[in-house]
């Protein structure tokens, strides 16, 4: 074998070994995002998960998830368990969906697997797509529902005649009330379609004494955009103290939640939770009672590119701006 051929074989073996090495390294990395977390309205429980961390990761209220899965306190779950993140959807045989309290057009579209724009078009809805409890949304493009008896209907024969006329003439067929329907009270519309008002959120938080979880400048502010920051980031030094922003019970302490590093979640009451992410060291345990101002962790950069505390407050599963609760500096 000539020297040139030998060198070519050696190069080929080196390339093969390097490729195998890269594949091996990649296989030891973190699991892809699709392997954990919410998939199709469900969450497969992983080791280290708690009901609270799952609720946090999916942006849900822990009480709702418990109710959907008939889990009672102390909310014990186990690895491999499949948890429902949305209520069961029951569409009537007539091709309607009956709106429930708390429903939104986008939420209903995800449950049914139908685009929100199609639902809006089928029901003559326009932005901001306000709904009210008891409203019936048409799910069928050409199907006509049965006529409901009104309080001033005539005889049964007249009702049957109306039904026949309804099925043969689209112009006279009843359709779900449009978004601007006057039958729905304005208070019902606001209660269902809009997030909790600032007044309601503030009232629920009155009994909680809030304090700053760390000293340092705010390097990232809260944002309501879909991809925005769901809390605030407080800059600081590696190892500096992290304090409980309010008294409560530790309901999660670990690093199983992707993107948060070493994370602590504290439950303050049935409405409010707070979270402290990217810690270098966790100083508390799950189920431990915590006092406001108590040191719970050391600042770090786990799951992040720089040293900082990512701090969040959630009201019934929804992110709220922590600055609205923390005292002025």
pLDDT value for 94: 61
Rounded to whole angstroms, how far apart are CA atoms 323 and 208?
14
What would the DSSP string read from start to end of 181-228?
A: -SSS-HHHHHHHHSPPPHHHHHHHTTT-----SS-S-EEE----STTS
Give the other-Cβ count within 10 Å of 102's Cβ.
14
pLDDT value for 127: 82
The overall average pLDDT reported for the chain is: 75
pLDDT value for 136: 86
Of 170-184, 220-234, 299-313, minimum mean pLDDT range: 170-184
The mean pLDDT value for 24-40 works out to: 40
pLDDT value for 206: 65
Q: What is the pLDDT of residues 265-293, one digit of tens each?
A: 999 999 999 999 999 999 999 999 999 99
Between 138 and 236, name the one with better pLDDT: 236
Q: What is the pLDDT of residues 168-225, one digit of tens each?
A: 334 433 434 333 333 333 333 333 333 455 555 555 556 899 999 999 999 999 998 8
Whether the model clears a pTM of 0.75, i.e. scores above it, the answer is: no
As a whole-number percent, the residues of the chain with pLDDT over 90 amount to: 34
What would the DSSP string read from start to end of 13-78?
A: HHHHHHHHHHHHHHHTSPPPGGGSSEETTEEE--TT--HHHHHHHHT--HHHHHHHTT--TT----
> Is pLDDT of 119 > 70?
yes
Residue showing tokens 């019934």:
316
The maximal CA–CA distance of the chain, rounded, in angstroms, is 105
> Is pLDDT of 233 > 90?
yes
């Amino acid at each position: 074998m000539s020297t040139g051929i030998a060198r070519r074989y050696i190069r080929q073996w080196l390339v093969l070994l390097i490729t195998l090495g890269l594949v091996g390294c990649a296989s030891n990395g973190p699991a892809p995002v699709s392997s954990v977390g919410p998939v199709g309205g469900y969450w497969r429980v992983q080791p280290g998960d708690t009901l609270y961390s799952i609720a946090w990761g999916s942006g849900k209220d822990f009480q709702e998830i418990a109710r959907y899965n008939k889990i009672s306190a102390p909310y014990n779950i186990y690895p491999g368990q499949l948890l429902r993140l949305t209520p069961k959807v029951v569409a009537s045989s007539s091709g309607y969906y009956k709106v429930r309290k708390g429903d939104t057009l986008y939420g209903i579209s995800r449950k049914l697997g139908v685009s929100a724009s199609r639902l809006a078009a089928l029901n003559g809805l326009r932005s901001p797509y306000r709904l009210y409890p008891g409203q019936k949304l048409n799910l069928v493009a050409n199907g006509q529902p049965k006529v409901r008896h009104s309080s001033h209907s005539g005889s049964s024969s007249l009702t049957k005649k109306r039904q026949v006329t309804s099925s043969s003439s689209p112009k006279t067929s009843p359709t779900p009330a449009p978004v601007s329907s006057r039958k729905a009270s304005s208070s019902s519309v606001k209660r269902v379609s809009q997030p909790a008002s600032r007044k309601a959120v503030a009232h629920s938080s009155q009994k909680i004494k809030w304090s700053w979880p760390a000293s340092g400048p705010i390097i990232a502010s809260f944002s309501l955009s879909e991809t925005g920051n769901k809390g605030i980031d407080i800059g600081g030094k590696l190892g500096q103290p992290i304090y409980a922003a309010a008294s409560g019970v530790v309901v999660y302490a670990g690093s199983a939640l992707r993107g948060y590093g070493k994370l602590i979640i504290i439950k303050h009451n049935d409405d409010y939770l707070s979270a402290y992410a990217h810690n270098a060291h966790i100083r508390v345990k799950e189920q431990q009672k915590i006092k406001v101002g108590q040191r719970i962790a050391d600042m770090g950069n786990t799951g992040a590119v720089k040293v900082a505390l990512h701090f969040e407050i959630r009201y019934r599963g929804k992110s709220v701006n922590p600055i609205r609760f923390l005292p002025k500096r």
